[in-house]
A = this chain, B = another copy of it.
Amino acid sequence: MEEITGVIDYGYTPYSEFKNNVEKVVKIKGVIHNIREMSDFAFILIRTARELIQCVYSPEFSEFRLNENIVEQASAKITGKVVKSETRDGSERYELQIHDIEIISSPAAIPPVVISKKQVTCDLSVNLDNRPVTLRNPKERAIFKIQEGIQRGFREYLQSQNFTEIHSPKINFAGAEGGTNVFKLDYFGKTVYLAQSPQLYKQALVPVFERVFEIAPVFRAEHHDTSRHLNEYISMDFEMGFIESFTDIMNMETGALKYIMNLLKTEYTPEVELLKVDIPEITSIPCIRFKDAKELCVKKLKNITDMKDFEPEEEAFLGKWAKQQFNSDFLFVTHYLSKKRPFYTMDDPEDPEVTLSFDLLFRGLEITSGGQRIHDYNEQVAKMKKMGMNPDEFETYLMLHKYGAPPHGGLGLGLERLTMHLLGFKNVRNATMFPRDINRVSP
């Protein structure tokens, strides 16, 4: 009987080890990404998990001849000699002189979209229709490696701050925040809802773990089709107890963002360089009250009619203003109007017209909403009634307050939107592997 020990050793040499194997024969594996045939030799680019490795075919040292099985998108094992290659900028690069190649899997057709060039240049909709193929392009996949880095940084920082990772249910008996933008589901004859946010669950877990976070899908049945909204996206949420001010939440987010940006710089260098990502420097983040920000906008922009919220052009203006005034890519806007924030938001005791809440703008785009929550039972029930809600429908939610909760608050951060804006895309679909919008549920 066989025993499984947990050890796998294929004996492949990763590209990072090429520098220690110059003039030696090594074994690699990967997908043939691109073949360029010259008069008497050929370049064969091999796509590995994170790099492209340049291999050189030549009858001089290759023990086989190019043939119809050696095609792009075939998977191969290759042996060859590592050589230092010449680069124009003098940087160190290594390539492989192929001795032998073994094709272990062959495609049945040529990709419908060109993916072996530097960039996928087709229309976004064609790109998205062919996602299982287009994501193979190194620049496309680098977007999602960066995205991994962002969520990994969020998680690692919060773990270091004693947060517990949770998984809250996505099938709920009620829409989290009420409203009409919820997907309905037939659940064994009952109507239930897909979670719009983990809000009520993460709050419920504050008296349990004190600090919690979740990185998980949320679902919003928004009917409009814009470049910055998705109907399903990954929300990075946290909630923390025993806060002394709602600025504690902003401090926690600032710490997380610093950590994330540093992680990208240090652990995601190949992708940061490939995509020429302009990583923001964060020392501290300035704050402005909603009222004051609105005044600035009214002074500088024309035709502002909605005095209760910001239009995208106002956010963009505030972003530029923060850059000019404070040399900051980020700006916290605080104290949003009470009537524009959800029922669980705590009003400012010094001015109940406004709330202890904030949005974070990143280069002029809102990426976070957060704030302090009501923890007192009677205060929460009173606010629900004032807003025309029936507290009886929130009985299990109100267990949090009824049986005691410390002062707390938290925030939510859309992963795809942050990725989009960091990478300078105009459409969030560019930063979504398999986007779901009003017209798209496939692939």
Contacts and interface: CB of A to CB of B under 8 A. Distances in A.
Interface of A: 1-8, 10, 29, 31, 48-50, 72-75, 104-111, 130-133, 135-136, 141, 144-145, 148, 151-152, 159, 162, 164-173, 183-188, 190, 192, 194, 201, 204-205, 207-211, 216-217, 219, 221, 223, 231-232, 234, 241-242, 244, 247-248, 250-252, 254-255, 257-258, 282-288, 332, 375-378, 396-397, 399-407, 415, 433-434, 436, 438, 441-443
B132 A211 contact: no
A132 B6 contact: no
B183 A403 contact: no
Given A168-B433, A169-B434, A136 B208 contact: yes
B396 A132 contact: yes
A186 to B, nearest CB: 6
Contacts of A378: 108
Contacts of A8: 248, 251-252, 255
Contacts of A194: 185
Q: Which of A10, A162, A164, A169 has the most CB of B within 10 A?
A: A169
Given A133-B403, A185-B185, A171 B438 contact: no
A207 B396 CA distance: 45
Quickly give the copy total for this chain: 2
Nearest to A257: B6
A418 to B, nearest CB: 14
Contacts of A405: 75, 105
A119 to B, nearest CB: 16
A133 B205 CA distance: 9
A373 to B, nearest CB: 12
Contacts of A4: 247, 250-251, 254, 284-287, 332
B219 A216 contact: no
Q: For the complex of A and B, list the 10 residue pairs with the smallest distance between their C-beta atoms, beginning with the closest.
A: A73-B404, A107-B404, A396-B443, A6-B254, A75-B406, A108-B377, A6-B255, A49-B210, A132-B204, A173-B442
A171 B132 contact: no
14 contacts: A3-B286, A3-B287, A5-B254, A7-B255, A31-B404, A73-B207, A108-B378, A109-B403, A131-B204, A167-B217, A168-B433, A173-B442, A183-B187, A184-B185
Given A1-B286, A104-B406, A132-B204, A433 B167 contact: yes
A73 B242 contact: no
Contacts of A201: 433-434
B170 A211 contact: no
A441 B234 contact: no
A194 to B, nearest CB: 7
Contacts of A434: 168-169, 201
Given A3-B284, A251-B6, A151 B172 contact: no
B400 A132 contact: yes
Contact of A438 (B188, B219, B258): B188
Contacts of A144: 164, 166
B232 A105 contact: no
A401 B223 CA distance: 35
Nearest to A49: B210
Contacts of A75: 241-242, 404-407
A244 B8 CA distance: 10
A186 B184 CA distance: 7
Nearest to A201: B434
